Amino acid sequence: MSYSVAVAGASGYAGGEILRILADHPDFEIRTVTAGSNAGTPLIDHQPHLRSLAHLTLQETDATTLAGHDVVFLALPHGASGAISSQLGDDVLVVDCGADHRLTSEADWNAFYAGDYAGAWTYGVPELPTTDGKQRDALAGATRIAAPGCNASSVSLAIAPGVAAGLIDDRDIVAVLAVGPSGAGKSLKTTYLASELLGNAVPYGVGGTHRHIPEILQNLRAAGAPNPAISFTPMLVPMARGILATVSAPLKPGVSVDEVRAAWNDAYAGERFVQVLPAGKFPRTSDVLGANTALIGVAVDAAANRVVSIVAVDNLVKGTAGAAIQCANIALGLPEHTGLSVNGVAP
The set of catalytic residues is: 150
Taking the C-alpha atoms of residue 97 and residue 106, their distance in angstroms, rounded to an integer, is 19
Instruction: Tell me if 293 sits within 8 A of 222, measured CB to CB.
Output: no
289 is an interface residue for a second copy by CB under 8 A = yes
- Name the residue nearer to a second copy (CB basis): 235 or 262: 235
- Name the residue nearer to a second copy (CB basis): 77 or 141: 77
Q: What character string, x for contact with a second copy (CB under 8 A) and - otherwise, covers 315-344?
A: --------------------------xxxx
CB of 142 to a second copy, least distance (A): 28
Per CB under 8 A, which of residues 46..105 are in contact with a second copy? 47-53
Query: Looking at 55, 114, 302, 333, which residue binds a second copy (CB under 8 A)?
Result: 302
CA 90, chain centre distance (Å)? 24
Q: Which residues contact 255 (CB under 8 A, 6 or more apart)?
A: 167, 168
Q: Count of residues binding a second copy (CB under 8 A)?
A: 91
Q: What character string, x for contact with a second copy (CB under 8 A) and - otherwise, covers 219-258?
A: ----------xxxxx-xxxxxxxx-x-x-x-x--------
304 is an interface residue for a second copy by CB under 8 A = yes
Taking the C-alpha atoms of residue 218 and residue 152, their distance in angstroms, rounded to an integer, is 9
Per CB under 8 A, which of residues 16..35 are in contact with a second copy? 16, 20, 23-24
What backbone phi and psi angles, to 5 degrees, belong to 233?
-135, 110
- Name the residue nearer to a second copy (CB basis): 84 or 324: 324
Instruction: Tell me if 112 sits within 8 A of 205, measured CB to CB.
Output: no
Q: Is 257 left (phi over 0), alpha (psi -120 to 50) or beta?
A: alpha
CB of 105 to a second copy, least distance (A): 14
Instruction: Give CA separation, 3 vs 29, 68, 108, 137, in Å.
Output: 6, 11, 35, 22
303 is an interface residue for a second copy by CB under 8 A = yes
